C-alpha cells in the first residue's frame, strides 16, 4: 500500500496562550495529536524527545528566535529523535507580513508561511497539504480493501456506505490504514494518535479500538477487520475487508 501520512502528531509553538489553545483545539477536533509549547525552551524540550510530523511556529517567542528554532529543526540531530522519520514540516505563523520576511523564513527552513490573523480553515488546509508532501502526492485518499478514506473531507466509506466516526476514531483508523497488516502496540498507538495529555494507564486505546472495530465491521465479515493480537497489540487485516489492498491517488 502507498502511504499518505505515516504519523500525525503536531507541535504548536505559540506564546499567546489563547491562540495556542485555540489552534490546538481545532486541530484535535480534526483528529490530530497535538502538543503545545509557549516558548523556545518548551519547544526544544519537546522536539528533543518526541518525533513530530509538523510544527506550527510563531516567530516572536519570549525567550528565543523562531527563525533560529526553524533552522535548528532542520540541522540539529537532537531535534529529530526518531531516526526512521524525516524532520518535521514547519508552518510559520507570524504577524510579519513583508515579502522579505517571508523569504527569510522560507530560507531558514520553513515549508510554508501563514500571516496572522488567519482563518482556521486555511490553517487546516495548509496542514493537510504539508503532511501530504512526504508521500510526494497531491491526493488525499487512502484505500485498504473496501475501506476508503478521504483525509481532506474527513470521510470514510465501506462499500460506498458512509461511516459515522468520531475525530479520534478517524485518526486511529488513518494510522491503521497507513500501517495495514502491521501489529501496532498500545504504546505505539498512544504515541502517534493521542497527545501528551493521554494517560498511558487508562483503557482509552482499548475502548477506542473496540468502538472503531464495531463501526467498520460488516455482518458478512468472516472475522473482525481489526484483530487483537494477544500480548502485542492490534492489526488491521486487509484480507478480511474483502478486496486486495490498494491505495488511490
Question: What residues does each domain of the chain span?
Answer: 9-133, 141-236
- What are the tens digits of pLDDT across the range 50-101? 888 899 999 889 998 888 898 888 887 667 656 556 678 899 988 876 677 7
pLDDT at 99: 72
The pLDDT of residue 4 is: 36
pLDDT at 136: 40
Please compute Rg for the chain using Cα positions.
19
Measured in whole angstroms, the distance separating CA 26 from the mean position of its chain's CA atoms is 13
The pLDDT, as a whole number, for residue 163 is: 93
Residue 155 has a pLDDT of: 87
Contact 133, 112 (CB under 8 A): no
Looking at the chain, the number of H-run helices and the number of E-run strands are 8, 13
User: Given the C-alpha cell 467498520, which residue does it identify?
Assistant: 216
Q: How far apart are CA 123 and CA 229, in angstroms?
A: 38
pLDDT of residue 248: 40
Q: Do strands 9-13 and 54-58 pair parallel, antiparallel, or not at all (unpaired)? A: parallel
Contacts 24+ apart (CB under 8 A), 125-130: 126/91, 127/10, 127/27, 127/32, 127/54, 127/56, 127/91, 128/152, 130/54, 130/89, 130/91
Alpha helices in the chain (DSSP H): 17-29, 40-49, 66-75, 99-107, 120-133, 167-178, 186-193, 204-216
What does CATH list as the number for 141-236? 1.10.10.10
Task: For residue 113, list its beta bridge partners.
Answer: 92
CA–CA gap between residue 193 and residue 32 (Å, rounded): 7
CATH topology for 9-133?
Rossmann fold (3.40.50)
> Cβ distance 221 to 233 under 8 Å?
no
Instruction: Identify the H or E element spanning 56.
Output: strand 54-58
**Cα–Cα distance for residue pair 67/118, rounded to 1 Å:** 20
State the pLDDT at residue 142: 82
The residues, any chain, with a CB within 8 Å of residue 113's CB and separated by 6 or more, are 91, 92, 94, 102, 105, 106
Residue 245 has what pLDDT? 41
Q: Which residues of the chain have a pLDDT value below 70?
A: 1-7, 77-78, 80-86, 97-98, 133-140, 152, 196-201, 242-249
Look up the pTM and report it.
Answer: 0.59
Assigned C-alpha cell, 141: 485518499
Amino acid at each position: 500500500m502507498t502511504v499518505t501520512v505515516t504519523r500525525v502528531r503536531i507541535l504548536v509553538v505559540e506564546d499567546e496562550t489563547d491562540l495556542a489553545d485555540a489552534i490546538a483545539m481545532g486541530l484535535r477536533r480534526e483528529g490530530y495529536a497535538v502538543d503545545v509549547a509557549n516558548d523556545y525552551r518548551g519547544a526544544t524540550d519537546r522536539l528533543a524527545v518526541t518525533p513530530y510530523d509538523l510544527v506550527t511556529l510563531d516567530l516572536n517567542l519570549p525567550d528565543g528566535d523562531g527563525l533560529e528554532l526553524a533552522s535548528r529543526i532542520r540541522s540539529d540531530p537532537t531535534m529529530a529523535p526518531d531516526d526512521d522519520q524525516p524532520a518535521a514540516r514547519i508552518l510559520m505563523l507570524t504577524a510579519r507580513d513583508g515579502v522579505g520576511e517571508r523569504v527569510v523564513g522560507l530560507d531558514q527552513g520553513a515549508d510554508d508561511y501563514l500571516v496572522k490573523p488567519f482563518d482556521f480553515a486555511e490553517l487546516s488546509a495548509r496542514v493537510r497539504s504539508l503532511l501530504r508532501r512526504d508521500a510526494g502526492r497531491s491526493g488525499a485518499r487512502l484505500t485498504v480493501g473496501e475501506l476508503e478514506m478521504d483525509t481532506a473531507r474527513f470521510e470514510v466509506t465501506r462499500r460506498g456506505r458512509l461511516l459515522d466516526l468520531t475525530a479520534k476514531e478517524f485518526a486511529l483508523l488513518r494510522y491503521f490504514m497507513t500501517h495495514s497488516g502491521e501489529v501496532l502496540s498500545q504504546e505505539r498507538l498512544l504515541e502517534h494518535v493521542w497527545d501528551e495529555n493521554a494517560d498511558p494507564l487508562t483503557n482509552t486505546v482499548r475502548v477506542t479500538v473496540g468502538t472503531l472495530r464495531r463501526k467498520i465491521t460488516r455482518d458478512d465479515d468472516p472475522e473482525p477487520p481489526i484483530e487483537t493480537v494477544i500480548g502485542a497489540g492490534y492489526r488491521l487485516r486487509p484480507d478480511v475487508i474483502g478486496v486486495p489492498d490498494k491505495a488511490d491517488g
